[in-house]
Amino acid sequence: MALSRAWILHTAEDAHQSAAMAARRFHELAGHQQNPARRFRVALAGGGTPKRFYQTLAESHRTAIDWSRIDFFWSDERWVPPDDPQSNYRLARECLLDPLSIPETQIFRVAAESGDADQSAAEYERTIVEQLGEPPVFDLILLGVGEDGHTASLFPGSAALKETVRWVVSNWVEKLQAWRITFTLPLLNQAKHIFFLVNGPGKADAMEAIFRGPSLPAARVRPVQGEVEWFADTAAAGRLLTGP
């Protein structure tokens, strides 16, 4: 079994600097594609942490990146309409896509507002395969980490964690009493690059557990050919720097 490449941990004094570091790294990856005709496909993260990262990209990297070559997807989505305050799409729309005037043709959101979650997951999976081929290899997938060590919507003990074939599934999250649509580990582990964005003291226990062993969902993100980079403030990752 091929082992994934090493994880890279970037730490910063605070969440603002952590976001700036991740934005610079995004610029390096997205801004310097050898083949200008090649699309750069990125899957955006959910939750609140990416907001500052998105704002930094839109404000400080607006002109330095050729945004016309970048296609935007989501690594997970809540089962809510696109204008719902809980929507991961809405957050990215407001903080990144609208400020950069990204055209609809470059935006591939999850249809999470109607019908059946399984059907929506299957439709999103079809869209991803149509756009990226099979196996679908994202240039970059952005992820957060919950205090319980979940990532995307792969929560501990949830059915989606056991998926070994599908790229996108619906997932009932008992603790939230809610449906989610999420990338699976097989899809995450196809990626060329993964960025984890993790800040705050509330994540310190999860970070310590993730870097110490394979039990939590985020610890199982080990792309065979890809590189994983963590962007964390010292409140979240400080214990990892001081050793056992």
Rounded to whole angstroms, the Cα distance separating 183 from 145 reads 14
- In degrees, rounded to 5, the angle at the alpha carbon of residue 126 between the alpha carbons of residues 229 and 159 is 65
Query: Does residue number 45 form part of the binding site for ligand 6PG (CB under 6 A)?
Result: yes
Distance of CA 118 to the CA centre of its chain: 21
Q: Which of 23, 30, 47, 95 binds ligand 6PG (CB under 6 A)?
A: 47
DSSP for 21-50, please give it. HHHHHHHHHHH--SSTTS-EEEEE--SSTH
- Total binding residues toward ligand 6PG, as defined by CB under 6 A: 15
Mask for 86-115, x = binds ligand 6PG (CB under 6 A) = --x---------------------------
Stretch that binds ligand 6PG, among 17-25, 44-52, 121-129, 232-240 (CB under 6 A): 44-52
Per CB under 6 A, 229 contacts ligand 6PG? no
Residues 58-77 that bind ligand 6PG (CB under 6 A): 76
Q: For residue 199, what are the contacts with CB-CB under 8 A and spacing of at least 6?
A: 14, 15, 18, 49, 232, 233, 235, 236
Q: Which is nearer to ligand 6PG, 151 or 170 (CB)?
A: 151
3-state secondary structure of 74: strand
Q: Does 15 sit near ligand 6PG (CB under 6 A)?
A: no
The answer to whether 149 contacts ligand 6PG (rule: CB under 6 A) is: no
Say which residue the tokens 């991803």 belong to: 128
Q: Please give the residue ranges that form the binding site for ligand 6PG (CB under 6 A).
A: 45-49, 76, 78, 88, 144-146, 150-153
